[in-house]
Amino acid sequence: MAAVAFLAEGGTPVIANAITVRAPWALAIASGFKDVENRTRQVHYRGQLAVHTAATWCRLGGQDPRIRSWWWGEQNWQNQGPLDGTEFPNLMRRIVAVTTVAGCHRAEPGCCESRWGDQPNTINPVVWHVELADTEALLEPVGPVRGSLSLPWQLPPDVAEKVQHQLDDRLMDALAAAAVLGDSAPADLADQVLARVQDGGSAAWKASQAQLDGGDGRG
Q: Confidence class of residue 169 from pLDDT cuts 50, 70 and 90?
A: confident
CATH 2.30.130.30 fits domain 17-154: yes
pLDDT 10s digits, 182-206 = 555 555 555 555 555 444 444 443 4
CA dihedral 48, 38, 63, 72 (to 10 degrees): -40
CA dihedral 1, 112, 94, 20 (to 10 degrees): 30
Single out the residue of 208, 140, 136 nearest to residue 176, CA to CA: 208
pLDDT of residue 184: 53
pLDDT 10s digits, 86-105 = 888 889 999 999 999 999 99
CA distance 61 to 67: 7
Question: Looking at the whole model, is its pTM more than 0.85?
Answer: no
pLDDT 10s digits, 107-118 = 999 999 999 999
Residue extents of the structural domains in the chain:
17-154, 167-213
